[in-house]
Structures are given as C-alpha cells and as structure tokens.
A and B are shown apart, each in its own frame.
Chain A
Amino acid sequence: MNFWLAVFRQVGRNLHQTWTSQLMTFLTVSLSVLIFAFFYLIYTNMLGAGDRLSDDLRLIVYLEEDPGPEMQQQLRQKINNFDDVEKILFVSRAEAYERFATQLGENSDVLTDMPKDFLPPSIEVVPLQSLRGYNKIKLFSEYLKSLPGAEKVQYGQEWVERFYYFTRLLTIVVILSGTLLILTATFMVAYTIRLTIMGRRDELELLKLVGATNSYIRAPFLIEGILQGLTGSIIGLSALYALFRWISLHFEGPGPLNLFQFTFLPFSEVLIIVSGSIALCSLGSYSSIRKFLKF
C-alpha cells in the first residue's frame, strides 16, 4: 500500500466517524463564502457601474464672456497644464442657445421672447480615464474654477460625491465582512479538526508509537481541510450564482439592475475565492495538527 492510499483510507474513515462535525464545518465554510462573495459581487458591480457612468463625466466651466480665439488658446493651454485631457470644447452663447433650443424640440417656441445671448458661454472638458477618481476630479474642478474668466464649474458634484462615499462604505463592508468570515471559517475548521484530534487522541498516539511518520498523521487532516475549503467554497459560490440568476430573471428589464448591468464574478475571481478558501481551511487544519504533533 502506498502512502497516499493509506492516507485516503484514513480520510475516509475519519469522515465516516466524524461526519456531524464535518457537516457543521462544511456549512460554516459555505455560508462564510456565500456572504463574503455576495458583498464582493455587489461591490464589483457598483465599481463597474461607477466606471460606466464616469464615461459620461464632463466638467462644464461657465465663463463670464465669450473668449476670443487667442484666449481660447490660452485657456486650452492652462487646462492642459493641469493634466492632459480627452477633449476640450468651447461653447459660445449662440451655440449654447442653439443646443438648448434643439433639446427643447417642439417646445422651443418658449425661447422666442428670450435674447439669444442669455445663456453663458462655457468650456466642456472631458477628462482622461486616469483622472476620474473622486479626489482628482475635485482638484481638477477647483483648478478650472481658478481659471481667469471662470464663473462656475459643474460636473454633478453631489452625485459623484454620494457615489464615491457609497463605494467607500461598500469597500469597508467587503473588507470587514471578508476578514470576519475568513476568521470564522478558519477557526471553525481548526476547531473541528481539534475536536477530531481529541476524539482520536488514543489512535494518534498509538500511530506514533507504531512508527507512523508525521506526514502520515498530518496528511489526512490536511486533506480534510482542503476538502472542506473546496466543497464549502464551491457550494457557497453555487448558491450565490443561483441567487444571481434568480435576481437577474426576476428583475430584468428597465430598472436599477438594468442600469448597473448586473454581472457575475469573473472566473478568475471565482478561482481566487476557491483557492483562498482552500488555503485558509488547510491553514486551520495544519495549525491544529501541528500543536498535537509537537506534544
């Protein structure tokens, strides 16, 4: 009988004898993975939504007067001095009036009595993707406000700010829930293995006395940890996927989910979660058996 055959026989025997505590650990790992992955899924979708919405982000600098060609050149240079931008577009009073009229469509006759220069001239600045962090945009808008002739800068500050704080809150929730659930799962696995070790203390001591190597004693427990991590994470993620499918089916169509283009975790991240779960469960298992073997 080779080493691995002997080890797998031990694993089978152990699973058979301690199936109740093994089941409890398996459920804890599954639930931990499910809760963590659920928050993470929401977090990644929020980030994705933020990215998509920021594609439309532009800063509008309202000016006191229509700038002449020379001043336009100077302003363009000033803006580029802060950072390269994707696009700079000067909108004169007349152009602003035309745009507004177009937007009003059939109702444009409400503008009939209005002077054609009642709207302020502006500069529309589309920042580069690299400049779209909340703090960067804030700094950039303050810089634009300080430009000569600038009256006001608008970029949907309130919305951007709220979204920024919401994603920050979600990041904290993901990190905290992740940490707590990781600790829970690791301790549960370590505790189950410790219970198993205590229940089999006589056997393990006998194994040492009849010449079992430490690897022979340790390997079955490590395999149990790996199995708990693997099956627990797969079941947890499968439950999350089922939940995701249910939400997608029941809430598809126009609505907030459509706006956010709700997507499941990419395969690489699923693999990372499964590997992480396996690593943590093995760690819990290893730490327990190490204490016994030191004894």
Chain B
Amino acid sequence: MAENENTENTMIEMIKVSRIYEPNITALSDISLSVGTGEMFFLIGRSGAGKTTLLKLICNMEVPSKGLIEVAGYDINQLKGNDLAHLRQKIGVAYQDFKLLGDRTVAENIAIAMEVSYKKPRAIKQRVKDLLEQLQLVEKHNTITNELSRGEQQRIALARAVANSPRLILVDEPTGNLDASTTEQVMELLNRSRLAGATIVIATHDSSLYRQSKHRVLELRNGTIHSLTEGDQP
C-alpha cells in the first residue's frame, strides 16, 4: 500500500462519525476530530462515554453507522483484504481486555505482531527482549500469560502494541491495573514510541496521566464531544 502524501500531518481524521448499536443505542454521535502525526492524544470520559468504541472504530474492529474515518489518509472502512491487513500492521492496539493468548508464553504473545509482517526471527527475539527489559518483565519471558497478574498482562498487551514499531498506537486504559511506578514505565515506553514518530491515542480514566500533560485531551460524554483542550505540542 503506497503512502498517502496528503496525510503527512494528519494521522486520524474523523468527520461526523456515529455509532449506533441495535436496536437503538447511540454509542457515539457526530464525532469530528483530527489527530496529527506524532501527536499524543488523550480520550477521557466516564465508563460508557464511548472511548472504547471510538478506538475500535479507528482500528476497524467496528464500522461506523455514519460518517468518515481516515487513517493515514485511507478511508479505513473501504479497505479490504491485504490493504486492510497492511494498514493494521501499522496500527498497534492495546485492548482493554488485553486479547492475549493465554496458553502462549509472554515472548510468543509479543512476537505475534511482528511475525505477521515477516520480521526476521533474530530481530523479533531482540525486540521482545528490549521491550521486556523496558517493562521490567525479563524474567517472565517464557511464562505462560495465563499465569501472569492482571498488571503484568496489561504491560504485555502494551508491549505487543508497540512491538512492530507501528505508526499509530491505540491504548485503552493502559494503567488500570498498575501502581504509580509501573504507570511511569508504561508512559515512558509510549513517549519513546511517540518520539520515534508514532501517533498515540490513549483512552483513560486516570487523570494523573493527562492532568499535567501538554497534550490535547478530548472528553466524551454520552457519546458526544464535551470538550477538547488544546495542547502545546503535537
């Protein structure tokens, strides 16, 4: 899939996006926003405000009932087959429910994101090792993920999301099960990815993550945009 030059500065473009579940539950209504390339962007709001739905729409796990979503210049809902697969390789997602393979080792779970883009086994091994070092989970390399604590599983899900050096990283409640020091490690990892050029969208309840931050914060209430604070930097 060729790079779209028009989107050099915009990674996500959403125009009047709504998501309505059957029979008539509006999860999101008329959401319009742009997220720049290399930006760290916070999505906040109470449970049920529509944060997770918004992330799912961006990574094409769900399709909008109305509106347009462009990621890296591509209408993500028009992409099919290999084109969609190749775009997804550039999007790393840390899901709220982790989506880890419980019967596989930590290393295998992280490696899966790189295997689908046919990275060399040696490079995969090295990258897994680096990530586990950054998250202080080196000793868990060969542990079956079902045997990990919730906090550890959360960090493995995040490691998998950033493993393939994606251009867009979507993170749903990254610190829900973590203490303050581990939260710091996670944010460091995300910041490092952002400095390497990735765009980061974080959906969170945790006000400590965004209160002191210079990044933009979008608050959702009942599926609509309640406020959008301006940040200092992309």
User: Are B81 and A213 neighbours in the complex by a CB distance under 8 Å?
Assistant: yes
Query: Could you tell me which residues of chain B, from 118 to 160, have a CB within 8 Å of some CB in chain A?
Result: 118-121, 124, 160
A206-B112 in contact given A1-B124, A211-B86, A211-B88 (Cβ < 8 Å): yes
- Shortest beta-carbon distance, B120 to chain A, in Å? 5
Number of B residues near A (Cβ < 8 Å) is 26
List residues of chain A with CB under 8 Å of any chain B CB: 1-3, 5-6, 9, 202-203, 206-216
User: Are B118 and A2 neighbours in the complex by a CB distance under 8 Å?
Assistant: yes
User: Are B101 and A214 neighbours in the complex by a CB distance under 8 Å?
Assistant: no
A210-B116 in contact given A1-B121, A1-B124 (Cβ < 8 Å): yes
Q: Which residue of B lies closest to A213 (CB)?
A: B85
Q: List 11 A-B contacts (CB under 8 A).
A: A1-B119, A1-B120, A1-B124, A6-B116, A9-B115, A202-B99, A208-B85, A211-B85, A211-B117, A213-B82, A216-B116
Which of B87, B101, B121 contacts A211 (CB under 8 A)? Answer: B87
User: Are B89 and A211 neighbours in the complex by a CB distance under 8 Å?
Assistant: yes
List residues of chain B with CB under 8 Å of any chain A CB: 59, 61, 81-82, 85-91, 93, 99, 101, 112-113, 115-121, 124, 160, 164
User: Please, how many angstroms separate the alpha-carbon atoms of A208 and B112 in the complex?
Assistant: 11
User: What number of residue pairs across chains A and B have CB atoms under 8 A from each other?
Assistant: 58
- Which A residues are CB-close (under 8 A) to B90? 211
User: Are B101 and A209 neighbours in the complex by a CB distance under 8 Å?
Assistant: no
Which of B116, B119, B120 contacts A207 (CB under 8 A)? Answer: B116
- Which B residues are CB-close (under 8 A) to A209? 59, 61, 88, 93, 99
- Which B residues are CB-close (under 8 A) to A212? 85, 116
Q: Which residue of A lies closest to B61 (CB)?
A: A209
User: Are B89 and A206 neighbours in the complex by a CB distance under 8 Å?
Assistant: no
- Shortest beta-carbon distance, A294 to chain B, in Å? 12
- Which B residues are CB-close (under 8 A) to A211? 85-91, 113, 116-117
User: Please, how many angstroms separate the alpha-carbon atoms of A208 and B124 in the complex?
Assistant: 19
